[in-house]
């Protein structure tokens, strides 16, 4: 399996799922720009990965919610790598809050990072994919694009938007040789889920019970599907969102209200 380009941008590539995707692409010989708001963490990761792989890993600071920052990241990426043929819109973040208690700022920031970010990055990168005679985009959505988890109205709305955005852009750019798909991970072990406690205690147990394959996902589980979508093996797939969740979506998510409440997830 060979991915479609020698140069890729992975947003939020400093850690978690983004880092897993970067590792998989580097393994395939694709050089990767880790575009992350946390510059120090991205630089440390780039150094570590450059030692392990022959292809290059480069850190470039970027806030995906800011058009100027995205433009200068993409220009830095082309200066470093020359050819850009792949974009992975992975950066995402959200704080749990029930809708009537959610600060407007929190709603807007989540939509900005999780939905406007993929738009700004896609808009800035597409001309390079056209110049490159094609390429691939993968957007990292979430099982929450179809599932309702209490406290994640902003995040679910953004991720549902990402999947529909994926379809429309795929329809627009297919004729230019660009395929656009999304992956929707279920519960995956990353710094985000380690920090918010979603893999521990009753809620972790509940996730496990609802996962037919019987374990929590790892970043590399998501990365393998992203690499497939970006390779020749995925050449007839576009506009698709694939659940990558050990089968969690078959059983569906239930209300985590009580468990989240006990965890103090909604406390101010």
Active site residues: 155
- Decide: is 242 part of the binding site for ligand NAD (CB under 6 A): no
If residue 31 lies in a helix (H) or strand (E), which one and from where to where? Answer: strand 31-36
Is-contact 81 31, C-beta < 8 A? yes
> How many amino acids of this chain bind ligand NAD (CB under 6 A)?
30
- Tokens 């600071």 label which residue? 61
Count other C-beta atoms under 10 Å from residue 262's C-beta.
12
When the beta carbons of 39 and 167 are compared against ligand NAD, the nearer one is: 39
Distance CA 268, CA 257 (A): 16
Q: How far is the CB of 155 from ligand NAD (least distance, A)?
A: 7
Q: Which of residues 25-54 bind ligand NAD (CB under 6 A)?
A: 36-38, 41
Q: Does 151 participate in binding ligand NAD (rule CB under 6 A)?
A: no
Is 63:14 a contact under the CB 8 Å cutoff? no
Minimum CB distance to ligand NAD, residue 175 (Å): 28
Footprint (CB under 6 A) of ligand NAD, residues 82-121: 90-93, 113
Q: Which one of 128-136, 185-193, 231-239, 254-262 is the stretch in contact with ligand NAD (CB under 6 A)? A: 185-193
Q: Is 135 a residue that touches ligand NAD (CB under 6 A)?
A: no
Write the DSSP assignment of 86-116 as a string of letters.
Answer: EEEE---------GGG--HHHHHHHHIIIII
Instruction: Lay out the sheet containing 135-140: strands in order across.
Output: 57-61, 31-36, 7-11, 86-89, 135-140, 178-185, 241-244
Query: Whole-number minimum distance, CB 56 to ligand NAD, in Å?
Result: 19
- The nearer residue to ligand NAD, 46 or 132, going by C-beta atoms, is 46
Please give the span between the terminal C-alpha atoms of the chain, in angstroms, as a whole number.
Answer: 48
Considering only the stretches 98-106, 119-127, 130-138, 183-191, report the one whose residues sit in contact with ligand NAD under the rule CB under 6 A: 183-191
Binding site for ligand NAD (CB under 6 A): 11-12, 14-18, 36-38, 41, 62-65, 90-93, 113, 140, 142-143, 185, 187-188, 190-193
């Amino acid at each position: 399996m060979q991915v479609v380009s020698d140069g890729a941008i992975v947003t939020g590539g400093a850690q978690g799922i983004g880092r897993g995707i970067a590792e998989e692409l580097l393994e395939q010989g694709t050089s990767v720009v880790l575009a992350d708001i946390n510059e120090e963490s991205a630089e440390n990761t780039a150094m570590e990965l450059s030692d392990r792989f022959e292809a290059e890993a480069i850190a470039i600071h970027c806030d995906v919610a800011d058009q100027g920052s995205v433009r200068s990241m993409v220009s830095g990426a082309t200066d470093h790598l020359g050819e850009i043929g792949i974009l992975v819109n992975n950066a995402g973040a959200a704080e749990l809050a029930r809708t009537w208690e959610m600060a407007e700022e929190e709603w807007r920031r989540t939509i900005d990072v999780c939905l406007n970010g993929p738009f700004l990055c896609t808009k800035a990168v597409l001309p390079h994919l056209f110049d490159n005679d094609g390429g691939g985009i993968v957007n990292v959505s979430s099982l929450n694009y179809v599932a309702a988890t209490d406290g994640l109205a902003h995040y679910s709305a953004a991720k549902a938007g990402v999947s529909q955005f994926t379809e429309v852009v795929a329809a627009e750019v297919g004729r230019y040789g660009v395929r656009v798909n999304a992956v929707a991970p279920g519960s995956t072990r990353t710094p985000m889920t380690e920090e918010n406690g979603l893999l521990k205690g009753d809620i972790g147990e509940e996730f496990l019970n609802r996962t037919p394959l019987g374990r929590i996902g790892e970043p590399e589980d998501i990365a393998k599907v992203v690499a497939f979508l970006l390779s020749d093996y995925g050449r007839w797939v576009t506009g698709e969102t694939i659940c990558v969740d050990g089968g969690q979506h078959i059983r569906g998510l239930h209300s985590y209200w009580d468990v989240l409440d006990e965890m103090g997830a909604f406390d101010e």
